[in-house]
C-alpha cells in the first residue's frame, strides 16, 4: 500500500484521478489547495475524529480544544479516570462520552491503533467498528488521516455528498450507496478524491468541512 504521506503524493493522485475521470480536472481547478491532512496514529487522533462526529468543523475544533486543556496529556488512561463533570465542561454529548470511554477501554485492553494503520482498509475497518463509538465513517477518516490510506472514501460524509453532487451536477446530492458506487471509479486513489472534494466544498461554501487531522 502506497501511503499518502507528502504533497507530492497528493499531486500524483490528482494527476491519476484526472485521467481516470476527466470531469475531475475542472473540480481540481476550482478546489484550490488540496491539503495533505496527516496526523500521528494513536488515541489522540481517533479521539479528535470521534469529537467531530456529526458537528461542524468549527464546533469540533472548539470542543476538542477544551478537551485537550482539561485532559492533558490526552491518553486513554486519563479519559477513563475523568468524571462526567469534565466531559460536560468540554461540551461532549453523552454518546460521544460513551464513545471515547469505550475506545479508551479498548486501547487499554490491547486495541493497537498503530498496527491498524498497516492493515488492508477492509480488515482495519472491521476491527475498529467492533468497538462501540466507532462507526464506519470514524474508521474511514482515521485510516485517511492517521494511516494515509490511499483508497478510502467516506461516502457517509454529508459534505462529500454535497460537493460531489454540486461538482458533477447530481441533484439531489448522491446518497451513501450511490456515492460508494461512483467513487469506485476513482480507485486506487479514493483517499485523494476525498481530499479533493473536501477542498472543493471549502471553496464552494467558504468554510472547511473536512474532519480535523
For the cut 80, the answer to whether the pLDDT of residue 116 exceeds it is yes
Question: By the 8 A CB rule, do 31 and 199 touch?
Answer: yes
Q: Residues of 139-153 as b/e, b for ≥16 C-beta within 10 angstroms?
A: bbbbbbbbbbbbbbb
Provide the CATH number for the domain formed by 7-37+151-205 in this structure: 1.10.1670.40
Kindly state the percentage of the chain with pLDDT values over 70. Answer: 100
Instruction: Check residue 2 and give its pLDDT.
Output: 81
Break the chain into its structural domains and give their ranges.
7-37+151-205, 43-145
User: Is the bond into 188 cis (omega within 30 degrees of 0)?
Assistant: yes
pLDDT tens digit string along 48-66? 999 999 888 999 999 999 9
Query: Which CATH homologous superfamily contains domain 43-145?
Result: Hypothetical protein; domain 2 (1.10.340.30)
For the cut 80, the answer to whether the pLDDT of residue 1 exceeds it is no
Amino acid at each position: 500500500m502506497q501511503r499518502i504521506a507528502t504533497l507530492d503524493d497528493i499531486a500524483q493522485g490528482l494527476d491519476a484521478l484526472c485521467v481516470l475521470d476527466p470531469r475531475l480536472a475542472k473540480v481540481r481547478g476550482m478546489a484550490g489547495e488540496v491539503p495533505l491532512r496527516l496526523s500521528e496514529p494513536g488515541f489522540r487522533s481517533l479521539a479528535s475524529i470521534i469529537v467531530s462526529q456529526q458537528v461542524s468543523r468549527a464546533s469540533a475544533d472548539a470542543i476538542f480544544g477544551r478537551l485537550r486543556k482539561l485532559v492533558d496529556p490526552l491518553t486513554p488512561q486519563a479519559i477513563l479516570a475523568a468524571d462526567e463533570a469534565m466531559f460536560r465542561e468540554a461540551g461532549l454529548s453523552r454518546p460521544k462520552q460513551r464513545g471515547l470511554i469505550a475506545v479508551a477501554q479498548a486501547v487499554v485492553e490491547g486495541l493497537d491503533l498503530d498496527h491498524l494503520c498497516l492493515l488492508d482498509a477492509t480488515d482495519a475497518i472491521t476491527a475498529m467498528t467492533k468497538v462501540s463509538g466507532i462507526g464506519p465513517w470514524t474508521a474511514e477518516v482515521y485510516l485517511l488521516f492517521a494511516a494515509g490510506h490511499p483508497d478510502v472514501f467516506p461516502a457517509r460524509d454529508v459534505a462529500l455528498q454535497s460537493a460531489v453532487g454540486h461538482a458533477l451536477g447530481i441533484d439531489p446530492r448522491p446518497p451513501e450507496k450511490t456515492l460508494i458506487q461512483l467513487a469506485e471509479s476513482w480507485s486506487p486513489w479514493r483517499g485523494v478524491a476525498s481530499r479533493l472534494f473536501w477542498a472543493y466544498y471549502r471553496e464552494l461554501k467558504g468554510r472547511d468541512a473536512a474532519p480535523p487531522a
